[in-house]
């Protein structure tokens, strides 16, 4: 199977792990990178043995089939739409876009041009959540009844070198971390039919205490505590809290409650475990051995899976449709909070297929 040539746009902090992992998958051939700051692209190119180019140079290369878009969130749509216009498939870092309108434009353009859209997070393809998926599908907790998900911290201004965007449109805890939790929940329980929620800004200003912007005051423009209720199409009910307003908490990441037991799901911002199960009548929790590979940091799995799809014709799992459904859910929480109502979602998606067991390292099809 011929490898799929990839051009990477956006050489910031997260790009390093993508470079490392894309070079490990035989299905991928990362050939070029670009960044608004040419020196960053040059540094990454030298570090990983690829060519530094302009964005225009990547888009003009007829051999590049996929643009891996690791730009900042507000640039996700612009870069992806340029790639799709050029007849290339686009794989975005999360979120898919800032607005529903841009997300829909991507999907429509991809369909019109016969190419694909993919999007992070791909952590749900890791060993931990794939093990949970198998346990649910095999009936270990019976019929899923409900789920809870919690992401609480006190924001990123104490450690991130440039945290302002976390508090502007496209940021906040729901748009920053919500994609990990919601993508995991949709992978485990299927699409969502309806949501409601509440949201608030607790601290109108934040002071950066990290370097190099120590002392800078950030005006907060987006909700920093969001609580949502999800009605899944399956009938299960979900509860989610994402917050940058919590100093300390003792909460699970994700739990799924079934008619015959409870499943403790590992951190959806990682790829491994632990996975814990407690069936009805059990006196204690049992840690379940991981059934799948990719327990280490495997960012790029979704790109590789899309490449397999391009070669074989099968659907890819970290799809644009899934990412758009998650984007729609996140906006719907904010809409519900502003308007004081339930919001019925216009979008849906197919629950992504589970990964096969027993895959050879750095492969995704048997």
Instruction: Give 164-173 pLDDT, tens digit per residue.
Output: 999 999 999 9
Same domain, 134 and 103: no
Quick one: tokens of 20? Answer: 């490392």
Q: At what angle do helices 320-339 and 100-113 cross, to 10 degrees?
A: 160
User: CA torsion angle for 91, 221, 239, 189 (degrees, to 10)?
Assistant: -10
Helix (H, G, I), strand (E, B) or coil at 232: strand
Determine the average pLDDT of the residues in 341-356: 98
Nearest to residue 31, comparing CAs of 66, 1, 56, 2? 66
Quick one: tokens of 125? Answer: 């393809």
- CA atoms 352, 355, 356, 357: torsion sign: negative
> Which residues are within 8 A (CB) of 347 and not within 5 positions of it... i.e. 6 or more apart?
321, 324, 325, 328
- CATH number of the domain enclosing 243: 3.30.360.10
Same domain, 171 and 277: yes
pLDDT at 274: 98
Question: pLDDT tens-digit profile of 108-145?
Answer: 999 999 999 999 999 999 999 999 999 999 999 999 99
Residue 316 falls inside a structural domain: no
Determine the average pLDDT of the residues in 348-352: 98
Same domain, 115 and 188: no
Same domain, 61 and 21: yes
Same domain, 83 and 106: yes
pLDDT-derived band of residue 97, with 50, 70 and 90 as boundaries? very high
Same domain, 144 and 267: yes
| Contact yes or no for 255/148 (Cβ under 8 A) | yes
The rounded distance, in Å, linking the Cα atoms of 340 and 354 is 36
Residue 175 falls inside a structural domain: yes
Same domain, 96 and 133: no
Same domain, 140 and 271: yes
The rounded distance, in Å, linking the Cα atoms of 258 and 256 is 7
Determine the average pLDDT of the residues in 282-306: 98
- CATH number of the domain enclosing 12: 3.40.50.720
pLDDT-derived band of residue 45, with 50, 70 and 90 as boundaries? very high
- Tokens 């199960």: give the residue: 277
Q: State which residues form the domain around 281.
A: 124-288
pLDDT at 333: 98
Question: Where a domain ends, among 70, 104, 119?
Answer: 119
Same domain, 112 and 132: no
Helix (H, G, I), strand (E, B) or coil at 327: helix
State the Cα angle at 304 between 289 and 11, rounded to 5°. Answer: 110
Same domain, 131 and 29: no
Quick one: tokens of 245? Answer: 């307003």
Same domain, 188 and 238: yes
| Contact yes or no for 45/51 (Cβ under 8 A) | yes
* 134 DSSP β-pair partners: none
Residue 298 falls inside a structural domain: no
Question: Where a domain ends, among 104, 119, 134?
Answer: 119
Please spell the DSSP secondary structure of 105-150, one letter per residue. Answer: HHHHHHHHHT--EEES--GGGSHHHHHHHHHHHTTTT-SEEEEEEE
Question: pLDDT tens-digit profile of 249-260?
Answer: 999 999 999 999
Alpha helices in the chain (DSSP H): 15-22, 38-48, 55-60, 76-85, 100-113, 127-137, 172-189, 301-312, 320-339
The rounded distance, in Å, linking the Cα atoms of 303 and 298 is 11
- Count of structural domains within the chain: 2
Same domain, 26 and 132: no
Look over the chain and give the mean of its residue pLDDT values, rounded to a whole number: 98
Question: Where a domain ends, among 263, 288, 313?
Answer: 288
């Amino acid at each position: 199977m011929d490898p799929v040539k990839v051009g990477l746009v956006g050489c910031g902090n997260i790009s390093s792990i993508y470079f490392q992992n894309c070079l490990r998958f035989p299905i991928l051939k990362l050939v070029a990178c670009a960044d608004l700051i040419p020196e960053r692209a040059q540094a990454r190119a030298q570090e990983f043995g690829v060519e530094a180019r302009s964005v225009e140079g990547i888009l003009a290369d007829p051999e590049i089939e996929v643009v891996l878009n690791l730009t900042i969130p507000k640039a996700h749509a612009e870069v992806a739409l340029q790639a799709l216009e050029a007849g290339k498939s686009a794989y975005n870092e999360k979120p898919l876009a800032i607005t529903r309108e841009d997300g829909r434009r991507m999907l429509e353009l991809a369909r019109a041009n016969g190419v694909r859209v993919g999007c992070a997070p791909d952590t749900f393809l890791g060993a931990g959540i794939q093990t949970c998926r198998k346990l649910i599908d095999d009936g270990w907790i019976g019929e899923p009844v409900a789920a809870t998900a919690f992401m609480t911290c006190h924001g990123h201004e104490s450690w991130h070198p440039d945290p302002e965007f976390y508090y502007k449109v496209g940021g906040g805890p729901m748009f920053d971390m919500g994609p990990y939790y919601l993508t995991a929940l949709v992978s485990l329980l299927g699409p969502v039919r309806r949501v409601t929620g509440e949201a608030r800004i607790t601290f109108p200003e934040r002071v950066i205490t990290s370097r190099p912007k120590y002392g800078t005051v950030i005006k907060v423009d987006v909700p920093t505590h969001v609580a949502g209720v999800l009605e899944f199409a399956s009938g299960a009910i979900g509860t989610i809290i994402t917050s940058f307003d919590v100093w300390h908490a003792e909460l699970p990441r994700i739990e799924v409650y079934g008619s015959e037991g409870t499943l403790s799901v590992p951190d959806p911002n990682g790829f491994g475990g632990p996975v814990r199960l407690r069936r009805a009548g059990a006196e204690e929790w049992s840690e379940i051995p991981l059934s799948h590979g990719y327990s280490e940091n495997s960012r790029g799995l979704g790109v590789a899976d899309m490449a397999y799809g391009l070669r074989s014709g099968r659907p890819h799992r970290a799809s644009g449709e899934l990412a758009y459904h998650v984007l729609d859910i996140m906006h719907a929480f904010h809409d519900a909070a502003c308007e004081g109502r339930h919001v019925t979602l216009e979008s849906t998606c197919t629950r992504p297929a589970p990964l096969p067991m027993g895959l050879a390292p750095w492969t995704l099809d048997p």
